[in-house]
A and B are shown apart, each in its own frame.
Chain A
């Protein structure tokens, strides 16, 4: 597999990331866009901040670079990478959930869900009260992060 081709990703803040194609196609959403030929110049990822996008790219790189073998050491290494990867605050994890869901990277979602659930489980009532206050629970604004933007671009 050659690393010759690169893909340009543009994020929420307008920053661009140049990524090897093999890394960029790790997320299914991007792979489909490339297949559909609508990513010849730059792929816009309007929902993703640079912090999250670099984390996602870091994740994809690691998973592409780790040899796809049944070797125990490689598997364990990837696992410990994933565990370190989800060591983040709740806000970051929520952003990651949105980004991973949007980019269709399913394998890590399970681990992130569990991490957030464990965080909630481990919270004391005081902390929960604080979380309740901060979040204010306005559910009317369920922001469905859909592919609307992409769809309008494609059409």
Chain B
């Protein structure tokens, strides 16, 4: 046997699978730097299997966080985006992510909104000033950890016919079947300017739906249309928590159907087949009441809905078998606590986020059946908009478009 003195072991001498076990524990930002170290390192850190395991570990290791946008995306960067780690949500980390340096905001664009956040990718839109009606919103997909930004190309059906004149819906989702991230966009026009009270009857029919594939790098018009009997959609403008209801290759909207008595239903978009479907709500949830709020989300991977009446109980229903109306189960009921507590929805795949009577965010502890306030202000610090909240996990996920 060779009796040469053994050299100290260095990292590169570890077999690849052992090295992966170390690297998987590092934040994506650091791994992105490591990719520049050498070609083999870059190859290892770019393997889809490594990226998936890294993401998986982050999610299951409770490394997820929720991000609070106090002013949507503040385009001048003056109002930071604040991250709260899920394992200790009281901690505020205002510098966890910053707007991408490569984002130059075109003239005439003044505000932005978050459209979704999935597996470390944040999708947002830049909106033109209300008075400028000949420009379409610009949609971007962004991985803050990698500092990667994709500005989506223009779509076919313009969305810019004056904001009073259009009902536009854009959502972001993940299709596990093709391992692709997609943006779904559809709209309809108003027949004529109307007041909010009479708006429902003055919409024209839904225009064709467009889907952007991150893998293909392009938009396409699809054949299936948004259900024509849908009167209104509860979407990102109304909600505090954005994009928590995407589930297993589907995007969901809580909708009101046309008709004399407004009926609610869930419209689902299957990202793999690119078709729409409808899912009924649990029978025992009141279909429509003025003071009722319904919120969609998912709990441990199951589609769920939260329903509450002012001064009444908050009910949480879970659909145990996806798409099967008979599998709705009442999962949780909690009554209003002392003071005015308003549910905001589901976050981090298992938590209920609330707004407490002292204007703070709060999480509901399902085991102890109590509300834990977070010392996090729940309103915009600047008064003009609702705060927007997304779940976020640091990841290496990025898809370069096909040539």
Which A residues contact B (CB, under 8 angstroms)?
12-14, 46, 49, 90-91, 94-95, 97-98, 101, 109, 113-114, 116-117, 120-121, 128, 132, 134-145
Contact A144 B12 (CB under 8 A): no
Q: Does B290 contact A (CB under 8 A)?
A: no
- How far does the Cβ of B21 sit from chain A's closest Cβ, in whole Å? 5
- Selected interface stretch from B23-31, B121-129, B168-176, B391-399: B23-31
Q: What chain B residues lie within 8 Å of A113 (beta carbons)?
A: 21-22, 25
A-B contact pairs, 16 of them (CB 8 A): A13-B3, A46-B1, A91-B9, A91-B10, A94-B9, A94-B14, A95-B9, A98-B13, A109-B21, A135-B10, A136-B12, A139-B38, A139-B40, A140-B40, A141-B13, A145-B15
Q: What chain B residues lie within 8 Å of A94 (beta carbons)?
A: 9-11, 13-14
- How far does the Cβ of A65 sit from chain B's closest Cβ, in whole Å? 28
Which of B8, B9, B23, B41 has the most C-beta atoms of chain A within 10 angstroms of its own C-beta?
Answer: B9
Interface set, chain B 334-357, CB cutoff 8 A to A = none
Contact A97 B14 (CB under 8 A): yes
Number of contact residues on B: which range applies? Answer: 20 to 34
Q: What chain B residues lie within 8 Å of A101 (beta carbons)?
A: 15, 18
Contact B6 A139 (CB under 8 A): no
Known: A137-B38, A142-B12. 16 other contacts (CB 8 A): A14-B1, A49-B6, A91-B9, A91-B10, A94-B10, A101-B15, A101-B18, A117-B22, A117-B26, A120-B30, A121-B26, A121-B30, A128-B33, A140-B40, A142-B15, A142-B16
Interface set, chain B 264-283, CB cutoff 8 A to A = none
Q: What chain A residues lie within 8 Å of B11 (beta carbons)?
A: 90, 94, 135
Contact B25 A117 (CB under 8 A): yes
- How far does the Cβ of A2 sit from chain B's closest Cβ, in whole Å? 34
Q: Does B368 contact A (CB under 8 A)?
A: no
Q: What chain A residues lie within 8 Å of B40 (beta carbons)?
A: 137, 139-140
Partner of B18, one of A97, A117, A135: A97
Q: What chain A residues lie within 8 Å of B26 (beta carbons)?
A: 117, 120-121
Contact B12 A12 (CB under 8 A): no
Contact B21 A142 (CB under 8 A): no
Contact A98 B18 (CB under 8 A): yes
Q: Does B37 contact A (CB under 8 A)?
A: yes
Contact A98 B9 (CB under 8 A): yes
Contact B9 A121 (CB under 8 A): no
Which B residues contact A (CB, under 8 angstroms)?
1, 3, 6, 8-16, 18, 21-23, 25-27, 30, 33, 37-41
Q: What chain B residues lie within 8 Å of A95 (beta carbons)?
A: 8-9
Contact B22 A14 (CB under 8 A): no
Contact A137 B12 (CB under 8 A): yes
Contact A139 B41 (CB under 8 A): yes
Chain A, interface SS category:
helix
Which single residue of chain A is at the shortest CB-CB distance from B26? A117
- How far does the Cβ of B257 sit from chain A's closest Cβ, in whole Å? 52
Contact A141 B12 (CB under 8 A): yes
In the bound complex, what is the Cα–Cα distance between A120 and B21 (angstroms)? 13
Q: What chain B residues lie within 8 Å of A136 (beta carbons)?
A: 12
Which single residue of chain A is at the shortest CB-CB distance from B5? A13
Q: What chain A residues lie within 8 Å of B16 (beta carbons)?
A: 142
Q: What chain A residues lie within 8 Å of B8 (beta carbons)?
A: 91, 95
Contact B12 A138 (CB under 8 A): yes
In the bound complex, what is the Cα–Cα distance between A97 and B25 (angstroms)? 15
In the bound complex, what is the Cα–Cα distance between A151 and B102 (angstroms)? 55
Partner of A143, one of B3, B15, B39, B41: B15
In the bound complex, what is the Cα–Cα distance between A136 and B12 (angstroms)? 9
- How far does the Cβ of A84 sit from chain B's closest Cβ, in whole Å? 20
- How far does the Cβ of B125 sit from chain A's closest Cβ, in whole Å? 34
Partner of B37, one of A12, A97, A114, A132: A132
> What 6 pairs across the A-B complex have the smallest Cβ distances?
A139-B40, A117-B25, A94-B9, A91-B8, A137-B38, A135-B10
- How far does the Cβ of A88 sit from chain B's closest Cβ, in whole Å? 12
In the bound complex, what is the Cα–Cα distance between A145 and B16 (angstroms)? 11
Which of A12, A138, A142, A143 has the most C-beta atoms of chain B within 10 angstroms of its own C-beta?
Answer: A142
In the bound complex, what is the Cα–Cα distance between A30 and B129 (angstroms)? 72
In the bound complex, what is the Cα–Cα distance between A13 and B6 (angstroms)? 9
In the bound complex, what is the Cα–Cα distance between A140 and B9 (angstroms)? 15
- How far does the Cβ of B200 sit from chain A's closest Cβ, in whole Å? 54
Q: What chain A residues lie within 8 Å of B22 (beta carbons)?
A: 97, 113, 116-117, 120
- How far does the Cβ of B148 sit from chain A's closest Cβ, in whole Å? 21
Which single residue of chain B is at the shortest CB-CB distance from A120? B26
In the bound complex, what is the Cα–Cα distance between A94 and B8 (angstroms)? 9
Q: What chain A residues lie within 8 Å of B37 (beta carbons)?
A: 132, 137
In the bound complex, what is the Cα–Cα distance between A46 and B27 (angstroms)? 35
In the bound complex, what is the Cα–Cα distance between A49 and B7 (angstroms)? 10
In the bound complex, what is the Cα–Cα distance between A143 and B198 (angstroms)? 73
Contact B18 A114 (CB under 8 A): no
Partner of A12, one of B6, B13, B30, B39: B6
Which of A14, A128, A137 has the most C-beta atoms of chain B within 10 angstroms of its own C-beta?
Answer: A137
Partner of B14, one of A49, A98, A120: A98
